[in-house]
Amino acid sequence: MGEGLLFGEGDFPTRARHALADGQLRANLGAATTTIRERRAAAVGEVADWEELRSAGARIKDGSLAALDEMLVDFEEKFSASGGVVHWARDAQEANAIIVDLLNRSGAAEVVKVKSMTTQEIGLNEALAEAGIVAWETDLAELIVQLSADRPSHFLVPAIHRNRDEIRHIFQDHIPGIGTGLGNDPAELTAAARSYLRDKFLAAEVAISGANFAVAETGTLGVVESEGNGRMCLTLPRMLISVVGVEKVVPRWEDVGTLFQLLPRSSTAERMNPYTSTWSGVTPSDGPSEVHVVLLDNGRTNALADPVGKEALRCIRCSACLNVCPVYERVGGHAYGSVYPGPIGAVITPYLAGVETVASLPFASTLCGACYEVCPVKIDIPSLLVDLRAKHVAEANRKPLRSSEKVVMSALAWVMADAKRWQLVNRLGPLLGKLTRYRWARLAPLIGRWTENREPPVPPAHTLRNWRNNHQGLGEGMRHE
């Protein structure tokens, strides 16, 4: 089972209610997701064979997952042959232990980090802090999140929930030497981050990164980014450690061509992101002389063993599904309580961590299907959500504990199984309606949560059945009793 920071305390409804009450958050999110949705649509619209590209993306990832063991062994062989060192980690704890050990042996007390969902998933920064090692996040948004001791809320724009004034305050409070003179212009704020981190890049002995893909055939890793902090981390330090989920591997070098076309347009809505770096082991006198990769399972083989769930492993973390999701747009990333928010988070988290660990997540969706439409690797997220809901119900049925929903449903099943019982209830309904004068919901604390945000339907004064009985001549042929 996956562990680490995959999931947090509490359930989705509680966190969502909290988020919905925050007007500033909703405004920040609404503005940002609307902008990015429009830009993505334009970037994708420019590509004539986008649908074929999506299918190719799905095919590449599925082909790799079908022979994942061979892919990983192949990758290991090639990466090691060119001077890299490959480590394997079953879970978060094991991955963190490997990294802490490498750092202790290197003697480094500080590391610079490139934004990586995987290192967040395993709670690496926390593990490093415990080992007395300081980790500097170098991506602008990650820096904002780290300085304010916050949690990221989006894959791509982790500080999407913050606006410029909030960020200005965070910098003033936490970056040494920044006075009250700092303005709130994004360019000025960015320049402040640049000068703050410059010295850290030049001094860093070790960097930690994730990878957007690993190529089995050639033993190549790649990082896709915008700011150049990735290039700094991948190039300047003496030692580089990359944490890579086992599902990131693709079979052939040529496959990256497809990913390079799908990812930037889906993610930042660009034809191409400013920088993409690839490396295959160590290059003499260019970049780090010691290069490690930690291949991480942490629940991925759980997902792989699930006939439906394994589709989620195709994900290339572009975040397009977050930006189009009506639920994400309103509650934001934190409500999901996982490092993986949004529609994909609602499926990948339970498949990695176990359905019952995060039982409320698959219900955090309207099943509208917008996520599937935009997904560059065609993950059918709505079907996965339905599968997870079914798994949760099956699990709940195994328990003796009776939920109100279950009581109502089994009563209904008993009633509907017999025509006589059904008729009786049909006659009772209108009577009940009259008796309670439209306020029958109050009599039904069982469905109180359901009626909290909805108007309860009032039982009609006449049912179809008694209407028909009163109009004998019309429905003669339809009678079966």
Partner 1 sequence: MSEARSEILARIRAARITAPPQAPPVAPPQAPLSVSPQAPPGAPAPVGLVGLFCERVAHYDATVRRVATDSVAENLGSLIVAGSKVVAPRGFPQQWTAGLNALVVDGEELTKRDLDGFATVLSTCAVAVAETGTVILDGGVGQGRRALSLLPDHHVVVVKESQIVAGVDDAVGKLDPRKPLTWISGPSATADIELVRVRGVHGPRRLDVVVVGA
CA distance 164 to 213: 32
Is 249 in contact with 71 (CB distance < 8 Å)? yes
**Cα distances (Å, whole numbers) of residue 288 to 175, 242, 283, 328, 398:** 28, 12, 8, 39, 54
Residue 193: contacted member of ligand SF4, partner 1, none (CB under 5 to 8 Å, by partner type): partner 1
The token pair that represents 130 in the structure block? 């415990």
Nearest approach, Cβ of 320 to partner 1 (angstroms)?
A: 14
375 is a site residue for ligand SF4 (CB under 6 A): yes
Pick the closer one to ligand SF4 by CB: 196 or 328.
328
**DSSP letter for each residue of 98-126:** HHHHHHHHHT-SEEEE---HHHHHTTHHH
The token pair that represents 187 in the structure block? 């360019």
Pick the closer one to ligand SF4 by CB: 189 or 321.
321
Pick the closer one to partner 1 by CB: 12 or 196.
196
Nearest approach, Cβ of 65 to partner 1 (angstroms)?
A: 7
The torsion angles phi and psi of 220, rounded to 5 degrees, stand at -110, 140
Amino acid letter at 255? Answer: D
Q: Which stretch binds partner 1 (CB under 8 A): 273-281, 333-341, 350-358, 401-409?
A: 273-281
Of these, 3, 121, 137, 139, which contacts partner 1 (CB under 8 A)?
139
15 is a site residue for partner 1 (CB under 8 A): no
Q: Regarding beta strands 213-215 and 220-225, do their DSSP bridges make them parallel or antiparallel, or are they unpaired?
A: antiparallel
250 is a site residue for ligand SF4 (CB under 6 A): no
Nearest approach, Cβ of 451 to partner 1 (angstroms)?
A: 39
Is 210 in contact with 260 (CB distance < 8 Å)? no
Q: Which stretch binds ligand SF4 (CB under 6 A): 158-166, 358-366, 370-378, 473-481?
A: 370-378
Binding residues for ligand SF4 restricted to 306-325, rule: CB under 6 A: 315-321
237 is a site residue for ligand SF4 (CB under 6 A): no
Residue 316: contacted member of ligand SF4, partner 1, none (CB under 5 to 8 Å, by partner type): ligand SF4
379 is a site residue for ligand SF4 (CB under 6 A): yes
Residue 376: contacted member of ligand SF4, partner 1, none (CB under 5 to 8 Å, by partner type): ligand SF4
CA distance 118 to 125: 11
377 is a site residue for ligand SF4 (CB under 6 A): yes
Of these, 20, 147, 174, 253, which contacts partner 1 (CB under 8 A)?
253
Q: Which stretch binds partner 1 (CB under 8 A): 4-12, 101-109, 182-190, 344-352?
A: 182-190
Is 11 in contact with 346 (CB distance < 8 Å)? no
Is 246 in contact with 151 (CB distance < 8 Å)? no
Binding residues for partner 1 restricted to 408-427, rule: CB under 8 A: none
Of these, 7, 12, 279, 372, which contacts partner 1 (CB under 8 A)?
279
Nearest approach, Cβ of 281 to ligand SF4 (angstroms)?
A: 28
Q: Which stretch binds ligand SF4 (CB under 6 A): 75-83, 99-107, 371-379, 407-415?
A: 371-379
435 Cβ neighbours under 8 A, 6+ residues apart: none
Of these, 80, 106, 148, 226, which contacts partner 1 (CB under 8 A)?
226
Nearest approach, Cβ of 255 to ligand SF4 (angstroms)?
A: 15
242 is a site residue for partner 1 (CB under 8 A): no
CA 458, 464, 466, 470 torsion: positive or negative?
positive
Q: Is 243 helix (H, G, I), strand (E, B) or coil?
A: strand
Convert residues 95-134 into a mask of x (bound to partner 1 by CB under 8 A) and - (unbound): ----------------------------------------
Tell me which residue of 351, 356, 360 sits closest to 384, measured CA to CA: 351
Residue 374: contacted member of ligand SF4, partner 1, none (CB under 5 to 8 Å, by partner type): ligand SF4
Residue 261: contacted member of ligand SF4, partner 1, none (CB under 5 to 8 Å, by partner type): partner 1
Q: Which residue has the tokens 């000068």?
A: 195
Nearest approach, Cβ of 73 to ligand SF4 (angstroms)?
A: 26
Cα-Cα-Cα-Cα dihedral of 297, 111, 145, 351, to 10°?
0
Is 80 in contact with 172 (CB distance < 8 Å)? no
User: Residue 437's CB: how many other CB atoms inside 10 A?
Assistant: 8
Q: Is 89 helix (H, G, I), strand (E, B) or coil?
A: strand
292 Cβ neighbours under 8 A, 6+ residues apart: 84, 85, 86, 87, 102, 239, 240, 241, 242
Residue 417: contacted member of ligand SF4, partner 1, none (CB under 5 to 8 Å, by partner type): none
Inter-axis angle of helices 164-174 and 140-147, to 10 degrees? Answer: 60
Tell me which residue of 376, 306, 320, 390 sits closest to 348, measured CA to CA: 306
Nearest approach, Cβ of 32 to partner 1 (angstroms)?
A: 5
Of these, 260, 363, 422, 450, which contacts partner 1 (CB under 8 A)?
260
44 is a site residue for ligand SF4 (CB under 6 A): no
Q: Is 223 helix (H, G, I), strand (E, B) or coil?
A: strand
Amino acid letter at 296? Answer: L
365 is a site residue for ligand SF4 (CB under 6 A): no
Of these, 120, 229, 242, 266, which contacts partner 1 (CB under 8 A)?
229
| Secondary structure E strands in 29-171 | 85-89, 110-113, 134-137
CA distance 213 to 423: 61
Nearest approach, Cβ of 71 to partner 1 (angstroms)?
A: 8
Residue ranges that bind ligand SF4, judged by CB under 6 A: 266, 315-321, 344, 374-377, 379
